[in-house]
Amino acid sequence: MRILPSGSRALMLELGDVDEVRAWHAAATQARLPGVADLVPAARTLLVVLDQISAASPAGAVPPLDDLARRLRELHPVQGRRPDESASSADADRPDTLEVPVRYDGDDLAEVAALWDCDVAEVVRRHTGVRWSVAFCGFAPGFAYLVPDGGGDRWDVPRRDVPRTSVPAGSVGLAGPYTGVYPSASPGGWQLVGRTTLELFDVWREPPALLTPGRRVRFVDVT
């Protein structure tokens, strides 16, 4: 792990892989580090942001980023551990696992079955048979990159050689080790296996994104 400054009020943790990021995100969330305003995970990094007040230190005091770096080094993340649902007030009243209803009729379902050397029914069984966790968000507002609890490489599928110019909102897709659900219509190159009617992102909702880092998800077949 490397800890690098990112501007005047944030530190960037460079980590080995997404599992390490999840472990550090969980540890930092549960530690409730003083002055930390936001934790932003990505595929191999974790951005730790101080609030404005904590970022300002009086003359002669220990620089706040130095103090934050020390506190981070004192953490002992455990891979596979996730943030406590009660750690975030936004998630405090949510159930532990969000069920996402999916109609498995995606245009690339047969192609995924061929890549996995199985039939379509087995693809659906595998996808609904595990619990997924949001590792990080990106690409578009409300777009979450989900990984299967327990890991494994059997989910790894290539992106499409030619991306689609428009993927409908609610489309459920696979790419690399991730599952994603398109929160709005947009271009995309993921392998589409189904679609959901859930509204993943609503700017008037609090929080706007239904899927946030650490959230657990189970896909339910409603075909």
pTM: 0.85
pLDDT of residue 151: 66
**Same-domain pairing of 101 and 6:** no
pLDDT of residue 125: 95
pLDDT of residue 79: 61
Confidence band, pLDDT 50/70/90 cuts, at residue 8: confident
Q: Reduce the DSSP state of residue 31 to 3 states and report it.
A: helix
Each residue of 102-115: pLDDT tens digit? 999 999 999 999 99
Contact indicator for 137, 143 with CB cutoff of 8 Å: yes
**Same-domain pairing of 72 and 105:** no
CA distance 214 to 8: 27
Confidence band, pLDDT 50/70/90 cuts, at residue 156: confident
Question: Which residues make Cβ contacts (< 8 Å) with residue 62, sequence separation at least 6?
Answer: none
Q: Is residue 173 part of a domain?
A: yes
pLDDT of residue 149: 87
Q: Is residue 79 part of a domain?
A: yes
Range of the domain at 183: 97-221
Q: Report helix, strand and coil shares of the chain as percent, to nearest 5.
A: 20, 30, 50
Q: Reduce the DSSP state of residue 163 to 3 states and report it.
A: coil
Each residue of 182-221: pLDDT tens digit? 999 999 999 999 999 999 999 999 889 999 999 999 999 9
**Same-domain pairing of 73 and 135:** no
User: Letter for the amino acid at 117?
Assistant: D
**Same-domain pairing of 103 and 70:** no
Q: How many residues in the chain?
A: 223
